[in-house]
Structure 1
Amino acid sequence: MSQLTQTLSLTRDHGIENSVTTSIQLQPLPQSEIQQRDIHHHDASDRELIDVDPVLEASRVADSDVPEGGYAWVVIFASAIVSFWFTGNGNYSWGVIQNALLEQKLASAATLSFIGSLSPTIMAVLAIINARVIHWLGIRQSAMIGILLLGVAQLTSGFTVYSVAGQFITRGVGVGLGMSLCFMVTSIIAAQYFKRKRGLANGIISAGGGLGAAVVTYVLDALIQRFGIPWAYRIIGIVTLVTGLPAAWIMKERTAIQTVSFIEWRLFKDPKFIFIFVAGAIATFPLLVPAFFLPFYSSSIGLSSSTGAALLSGFNFSSAVGRIAGGFLSDKFGPVNTLIISLVLSAISMLALWPASTTLIPLAIFAIINGALNGMYFATMPTAVGNIFGSARVSVALGMIVTGWGAGYLMGAPIAGYILDAHGGSETGLRAFRPAMFYAGSLAFGAAGFLMLMRYQMKSSLLAKL
């Protein structure tokens, strides 16, 4: 196979659209040629990583016999149920609990935002370690342990609702540990079964999470109103265990999960990896701000707590729709393009639409639009990583990228809370919220900029080879 043919055929695995690639028949290279490429890697420092990377070649071989259907869809829908619970119990429903804890004056908005931010932060920090755990235990056992941790954490959170430290441990750390395992298994499993429909499969799994966030948000508010915060926690924990464990048992890998090391340092020599790593690290600062503050904001403009919960539920339901749309758009237009579109439009919605939402109808429109774009971003990222860096490497590459999200998950919403408090708190109305909106929207634009740089670098590299 000529160098030009190899380059053209590899572009499809890297999310770059090129009309020439549609006529190229993908054929696995002989093992001897793969080994020869690896031997000469250190003598080819001026060449692209994709030209000398045996993992990408191995990924292409593995992708050539994926089932693209059949029992694979059963695994995908089981994964969607696991996603339902780790997202529903995670950061997207925290706004309802946060608002209830604010009303009972447990702590300030900034402190409570830290509790809610701790779970996704742990999910991010442990991503690299969990890639290795999944390699050791397999997808099924890892998913079952994750669901077990989630359910138990919610049950024990019901006994700590009057203790800030207790909430940090149970709702923060406990839920975070369960989320971290569940997130990784649901993020890498689609690459085991799909190539051509990988974006759609990831979209369905992620949509389960968006639907879970919508349902759990609505149910949590109803349970809090009827039974109080402690029993709301306990009931959700029990249902998580009863429905989540069977779904986790259905999940299994088709081939062994390949993990060569905790960190693959050579990826940091690839500009594409650096750009997507930095973009993801920045994007997590603003993207959770609306989910955390919608109920709080709605109360500040005179709406009831149930209305705020309904808005957050609408945000999450719209996120589920956006996740499926993101999967479809990834397969059609490329995952990098889809990531850029989601971030740019999300930034516009936070800078232009949210500040103008001073009554229920505009605020509901903002919740629907921003929720869809939020879900689109998170559903598309695993597809982008798998396509660019190879399905055989997706667990390590995604683990490294998600670990970079830790600071944004931990500080993104709390920074917005501090900005709010610094401008007089929610009692001063929209004037206090506007700086937080500007902070979130500006960072979303910044993240999109790094993805645009990555796309430009990928196209420039391809043109240089041609």
Structure 2
Amino acid sequence: GWYAWGVVISGCFMLMFSMGCVNSYGTYQTYYHLHQFPDEPLANLAWVGTLQFAVMNIFGIPAGILCERMDTRLVTFVGGVIMAVALIIASFCDSAPWKLILTQGIVFAFGAALVFVPSTSIPSQWFTKRRALAIGIVVAGSGIGGLWLTPATRAMIDQLGTGWALRITGIIVFVVNSIASLFMRGRIKVKSREKIVDMSIFRDIRFILICVGATCGMCGYFTPFFSMPSFAEEIVGKSNSFGNDLLTVINAASTVGRIATGEVAATFGTINTMCMCTFVAGLSILVLWLPFETTGTLIACAIIYGMFCGGFIGLIPVVLAELWGVHRISTIIGLLYMANFVGAMVGAPSSSGILDNIGH
């Protein structure tokens, strides 16, 4: 009914600012590296974006537990407050990168976990037939967020500096998330006598294989988001604005991919579609980005990678709901996000270290 679609739209707006901020961090990283902290190794600055996603995933389990035991509307509201406060405090941390790692990275990620897990798990409780489409619309919010947050952040940084860019973003996060949280109500309650976390799922080989796949996928997932803008500037010779425009292209394609793959999965199956998306996303990097230093191939890579990496992210909650149902979906997603944490911690810092020591 109408309330179910209200949950979907609310989740979309929540991911717009939680994952959207993560997806647009490349704009901050480029500015930090070229202007604010020019003597700081790129690998150190990459830890902000890495920890945003990694810590958000490691807090997935406690966030899932809170969703099952408490009113998810309260959980998501508190998460929005923490995200907003973290960004506002980060706006005053312009003297050392470690302060940004703590505020814009870790504290922001803790709040984002309280928003991200409910947003990707609760909508599954309200849908059966159109579940893949519903989740696709929800996770498209992160692509939409990155789509407009990237140029908006660049404009705010150019006109007002990073401090006010972070403060304005924090205020918007608080207002939008507070309104959206009013609709994020769970449909299924877990009985108090049930286990807080059911670890028996680790005896299921299907879950182990999904965790391994998620870890491998996350090792490289954010590298184009963080490194493609600097590649465009340093290797292809493009302007700073063009590098940031590539982030906009990736996020736009990702938005389309997350929604479209929901419909494709209804025909070809969610697992088949997710595997296809993962394969094509990885292939686009190997075929279009690595061998060439031209504008055309870089844009093509941004479009194809964005389209298919969006499908990989969008279908994971649907696969989990299909295999294990929606009763304990929040904690199951939280457990899987532990695998995402491992991949994120390995991937982005490693690629940034390679950039510092070897180059593009």
Select the residue among 180, 183, 186 that pairs with 2:113. Answer: 180
* Aligned twin of 2:177: 244
Q: How far apart, in 1, do the equivalents of 2:187 and 2:343 lie?
A: 33
TM-score (structure 1 length as normaliser): 0.74
Q: Kindly state the Cα deviation for residue 120 of structure 1 after the two structures are TM-superposed.
A: 0.9
Two-structure CA RMSD over aligned residues (Å): 1.4
Instruction: For 1:292, give the aligned amino acid.
Output: F
Give the Cα–Cα distance (whole angstroms) in 1 for the partners of residues 285 and 6 of structure 2: 37
1:120 to 53, 57, 61: 53
Q: Is the 8 A contact 1:144 1:245 kept in 2?
A: yes
Give 1:332 shift.
2.2
- TM-score w.r.t. length of structure 2: 0.95
Offset at 1:257? Answer: 4.6
Which one-letter code corresponds to 1:358 in the other structure? Answer: E
Determine the C-alpha separation between the residues in 1 that align with 2:309 and 2:117: 19
2:265 and 2:9 mapped to 1: Cα distance?
19
- Among 76, 95, 98, the alignment partner of 2:8 is 76
Match of 1:131 among 64, 69, 81: 64
- Runs of at least 5 residues in structure 2 that lack an aligned partner in the other structure: none
Residue aligning to 2:317 = 382
Aligned-pair CA distance for 1:255? 2.7
Residues 359 and 156 from structure 1, CA distance in 2 versus in 1: closer, same or farther, beyond 3 angstroms?
same
Aligned to 1:268: 202
Q: Which has the higher contact order (CA 8 A, sep 6+)?
A: 2
- The equivalent of 1:95 in structure 2 is 26
Matches of 2:264 and 2:56, distance apart in 1: 27
Q: 1:319, 1:374 within 8 Å by CA — same for their partners in 2?
A: yes
Identity of aligned residues (%): 28
Amino acid at match of 2:223: V
Any idea what the Cα deviations from partners look like across 1:392-418, whole Å, max 9, x if unmatched? 121122111111111211221110011
Question: Which of 118, 122, 125 in structure 2 is aligned with 1:192?
Answer: 125
Q: Secondary structure at the match of 2:195?
A: coil
Q: Distance in 1 between matches of 2:222 and 2:309?
A: 8
Deviations 1:215-240 (A, max 9, x none): 11110011111111111111111111
Distance in 1 (alpha carbons) for counterparts of 2:128 and 2:303: 30
Question: 1:181-237, CA deviations, whole angstroms, 9 ceiling, x for partnerless residues?
Answer: 111001111221101110000000001111011111110011111111111111111
Q: Which is greater in Rg?
A: 1
State the alpha-carbon separation in 1 of the partners of residues 196 and 33 from structure 2: 40
Q: How does 1:382-461 map to 2 (within 5 A)?
A: 382-423=317-358, 432-433=359-360
The alpha-carbon deviation at position 357 of structure 1 amounts to 4.3
1:148 aligns with 81
The answer for the alignment partner of 1:321 in structure 2 is 256
Report how far residue 330 of structure 1 moved: 2.2
Moved more, 129-138 or 258-267: 258-267
Separation in structure 1 between the aligned mates of residue 227 and residue 62 of structure 2, nearest angstrom: 31
Report the CA distance shift for 1:124/1:245 in structure 2 as closer, same or farther (over 3 A). same
**1:347 & 1:250 partners in 2: Cα distance?**
36
- Give 2:233's aligned residue: 299
Q: Give aligned pairs, total.
A: 356
SS at match of 2:128: coil
Matched, 1:161 2:94: yes
| Residue identity matched to 2:121 | I
Aligned: 1:367 with 2:299: no
CA distance in 2, matches of 1:390, 1:109: 42
Cα deviation code 1:50-105 (max 9, x no counterpart)? xxxxxxxxxxxxxxxxxxx3321112111111111111122x11111000000125
* Distance in 2 of aligned mates of 1:161 and 1:220: 17
Amino acid at match of 1:263: V
Give, as a single letter, the amino acid of the residue that structure 1 aligns with 2:88.
Answer: L
**Distance (whole Å) between structure 1 residues aligned to residue 336 and residue 259 of structure 2:** 22
The code of the aligned residue for 1:88 comes to: G
SS in 1 for 2:290: helix
Tell me which amino acid in the other structure corresponds to 2:325. Answer: G
Aligned to 1:39: none
Structure 1's 174 and 321: CA in aligned 2 closer, same or farther, altered over 3 A? same
CA, structure 1 residues 98+170, in 2 after alignment: closer, same or farther (shift >3 Å)? same
| Per-residue Cα deviation, 1:83-136 (whole angstroms, up to 9, x for no partner) | 11111122x111110000001252211111112101111111111111111123
Instruction: Specify every segment of 5 or more residues in structure 1 that has no aligned partner in the other structure, as ranges.
Output: 1-68, 424-431, 434-466
